[in-house]
């Protein structure tokens, strides 16, 4: 599912106009979609209170207001700025709207009203003024239902960041394609239910206008999911190696290993330091074990070319050993997580050097803190949204970066970006990240390319959490992974 940034949507708009499509006709359809949503969702509203801004978002508002009046709904319009200065389609929409509007400071709460927020959409450029924020706060505090046109005003369509303040909509009607800000946090939490309405811009124009941002759905990775056939031998389903920490720290790697097995790897081996072998062995059944205490032992083990992917990080310990292990593993498909990432905090360039110059085959899975350790300058940039941060990081590291959180973003060095929105809040539980690393490792082991493996991993992880339900523990997750043939 392709997402368009506000800039790309603007391009689509321009291309549509250049191809002879009537832009005012698009605005009429947009405004009518909003009035239809209003009538469908709030048939008993005492009044439609329409806030109209100074651009085309406001234009949609005037169209919706006129349509609601025609449907018999009492309507009050409050405008921002000088409506005489409206230009183009928005100006025409206001002229075609026979309702007197009043300046926004005249607005007072009205019992039973429903607000249509048509202040700003794609054109939001700066934080909302204090006066606007006060009005938004009053509407929010009084729990007045809000329908947002395109985006809740104040939410950045590219980043999902809130600029100053923002409406909390019950429902958002956007046009043609959802925007990244509808799925990134905190924007997602401001949108309510999201409706993507087709106002008639042709697909070919949308495809020409954008293409980097995707919502992470199976459509993005399904074609590269490993297919399990009756004849597939366990070796052909790959062999995943997961590195464990010492005797008191084998649990995290065991979780990853179990998840890798459930994600379909034919064989999974837990590589353990010799002093942890006994502890680990008492906990393992289907997962195999291999003592690997130092880099010499690792090099020996790596001579087995059937080992097809690795996970290093969960519970491994931070330090020199992790760095030398990663050096030995850098040319192989690898998920670098947790301690594996933090081990390079003092010398991120060393890691990037190891990963440079080849087809990207490493997946880095940092949460916010780990991201800041590897990419301090990128992480500090307040105006970058999460996709831009992940994307810059991916290019720098020549690795797929899966930037974790409630709105996990997956970015590839070639510019592809997936925003994951299927994770329930109860997925934020101890060990959950270890399972995610293991799932991705299991998919890499079966030959899935790094970006698709990371995207699939994030989606499957969320899907398993939804199946397991509230109160899950990380141990429950692998058992709830869906069969790949059942994913649609």
Binding site for K(+), by residue number, is 57, 117, 153
Name the β-bridge partners of 173: 149, 195
Name which of 149 and 453 has its Cβ closer to K ion: 149
Name the binder of 13 from ligand NAX, K ion, none, CB < 5-8 A by kind: ligand NAX
Decide whether 212 or 271 has the Cβ nearer to ligand NAX: 212
Would you say 451 and 412 are in contact if contact means Cβ atoms under 8 Å apart?
Answer: yes
Q: How far is the CB of 150 from K ion (least distance, A)?
A: 5
CB of 263 to K ion, least distance (A): 41
Min dist CB 110 to ligand NAX, Å, is: 24
From the annotation, which residues make up the binding site for (6S)-NADPHX?
A: 56-60, 121-127, 150, 252, 315, 367, 434
Check residue 5 for interaction with ligand NAX (CB under 6 A): no
Contact letters (x/-) for ligand NAX, 68-107, by CB under 6 A?
Answer: ----------------------------------------
Which one of residues 3, 30, 148, 206 is an interface residue with ligand NAX (CB under 6 A)?
30
Closest to K ion by CB, 154 vs 438, is 154
Tokens found for residue 320: 């020199």
Binding partner of residue 60 among ligand NAX, K ion, none, CB cut-off 5 to 8 Å per kind: ligand NAX
C-alpha torsion angle, residues 88, 90, 94, 95 (rounded to 10): 20
Of 49, 57, 159, 308, the one binding ligand NAX by CB under 6 A: 57
Least distance in angstroms from the C-beta of 154 to K ion: 8
Considering CB distances under 5 to 8 angstroms, the limit depending on partner class, which of K ion, ligand NAX, none binds residue 124? ligand NAX
Instruction: Choose the one of K ion, ligand NAX, none that binds residue 117, judging by a C-beta under 5 to 8 angstroms depending on kind.
Output: K ion
Q: Binding residue for ligand NAX (CB under 6 A) from 74, 123, 202, 246?
A: 123
Site for ligand NAX in 126-185 (CB under 6 A): 126, 128, 149-150, 175
Of 271, 316, 277, 311, give the one whose Cα is nearest residue 290. Answer: 271
Closer to K ion at the Cβ: 148 or 390?
Answer: 148
By CB under 6 A, residue 60 contacts ligand NAX: yes
The answer to whether 453 and 462 have CB atoms below 8 angstroms apart is no
At its nearest, how many Å lie between ligand NAX and the CB of residue 195? 13
Q: Which of 35, 53, 160, 400 binds ligand NAX (CB under 6 A)?
A: 53
Q: Does 205 bind ligand NAX (CB under 6 A)?
A: no
- Provide, rounded to whole angstroms, the least separation between the CB of residue 435 and K ion: 39
Do 303 and 236 contact (CB within 8 A), yes or no? Answer: no
Q: Measured from the CB atom, is 51 or 325 closer to ligand NAX?
A: 51
Pick what 128 binds: ligand NAX, K ion, none; C-beta below 5 to 8 Å, kind-dependent: ligand NAX
**Among residues 8, 13, 66, 337, which is the contact residue for ligand NAX, using CB under 6 A?**
13
Could you list the residues that contact K ion (CB under 5 A)? 117, 121, 148-149, 153
| Contact pattern from residue 264 through residue 293 relative to ligand NAX, giving x for each residue in contact according to CB under 6 A and a dash for the rest | ------------------------------
> Which residue, 121 or 431, is less far from K ion as judged by CB?
121
Q: Are 119 and 80 in contact (CB under 8 A)?
A: yes
Give me the residues that bind ligand NAX (CB under 6 A), please: 9, 12-13, 26-27, 30, 53-60, 120-126, 128, 149-150, 175, 199
């Amino acid at each position: 599912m392709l997402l368009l940034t506000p800039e790309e949507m603007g391009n689509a708009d321009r291309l549509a106009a250049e191809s002879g499509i009537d832009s005012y006709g698009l605005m009429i359809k947009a405004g009518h979609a909003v009035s239809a949503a209003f009538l469908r969702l709030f048939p008993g509203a005492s009044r439609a209170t329409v806030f109209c801004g100074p651009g085309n978002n406001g234009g949609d508002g005037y169209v919706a207001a006129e349509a609601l009046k025609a449907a018999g709904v009492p309507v009050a319009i409050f405008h921002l700025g000088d409506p005489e200065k409206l230009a183009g389609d928005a100006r025409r929409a206001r002229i075609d709207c026979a309702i007197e509007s009043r300046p926004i400071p005249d607005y007072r709460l009205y019992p039973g009203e429903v607000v249509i927020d048509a202040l700003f959409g794609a054109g939001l450029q700066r934080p909302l003024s204090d006066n606007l924020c006060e009005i938004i706060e009053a509407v929010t505090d009084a729990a007045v239902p809000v329908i947002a046109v395109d985006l809740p005003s104040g939410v950045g369509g590219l980043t999902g960041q809130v600029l100053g303040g923002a409406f909390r909509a019950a429902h958002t009607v956007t046009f043609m394609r959802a925007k990244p800000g509808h799925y990134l946090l905190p924007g997602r939490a401001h949108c309510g239910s999201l409706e993507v309405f087709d106002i008639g811009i042709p697909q070919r124009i949308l495809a020409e206008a954008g293409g980097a941002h995707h919502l992470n759905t199976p459509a993005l990775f399904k074609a590269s999911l490993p297919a399990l056939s009756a004849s597939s031998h366990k070796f052909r389903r790959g062999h995943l190696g997961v590195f464990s920490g010492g005797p008191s720290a084998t649990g995290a790697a065991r979780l990853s290993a179990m998840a890798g097995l459930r994600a379909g790897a034919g064989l999974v081996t837990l590589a353990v330091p010799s002093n942890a072998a006994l502890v680990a062995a008492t906990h393992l059944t289907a997962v195999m074990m291999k003592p690997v205490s130092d880099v010499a032992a690792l090099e020996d083990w790596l001579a087995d070319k059937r080992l097809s992917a690795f996970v290093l990080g969960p519970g491994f310990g931070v330090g020199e050993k992790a760095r030398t292990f990663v050096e030995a593993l850098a040319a192989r498909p690898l998920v670098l997580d947790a301690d594996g990432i933090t081990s390079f905090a003092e010398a991120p360039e060393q890691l990037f050097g190891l990963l440079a110059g080849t087809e990207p085959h490493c997946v880095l899975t940092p949460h916010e803190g780990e991201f800041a350790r590897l990419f301090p300058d990128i992480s500090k940039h307040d105006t970058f949204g999460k996709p831009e941060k992940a994307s810059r990081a991916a290019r720098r590291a020549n690795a797929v970066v899966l930037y974790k959180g409630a709105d996990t973003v997956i970015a590839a060095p070639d510019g592809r970006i997936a925003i994951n929105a299927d994770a329930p809040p109860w997925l934020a539980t101890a060990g959950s990240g270890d399972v995610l690393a293991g799932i991705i490792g299991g998919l890499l082991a079966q030959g899935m390319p790094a970006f698709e493996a990371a995207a699939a991993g994030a989606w499957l992880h969320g899907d398993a959490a939804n199946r397991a339900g509230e109160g899950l523990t990380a141990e429950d997750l692998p058992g709830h992974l869906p069969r790949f043939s059942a994913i649609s």
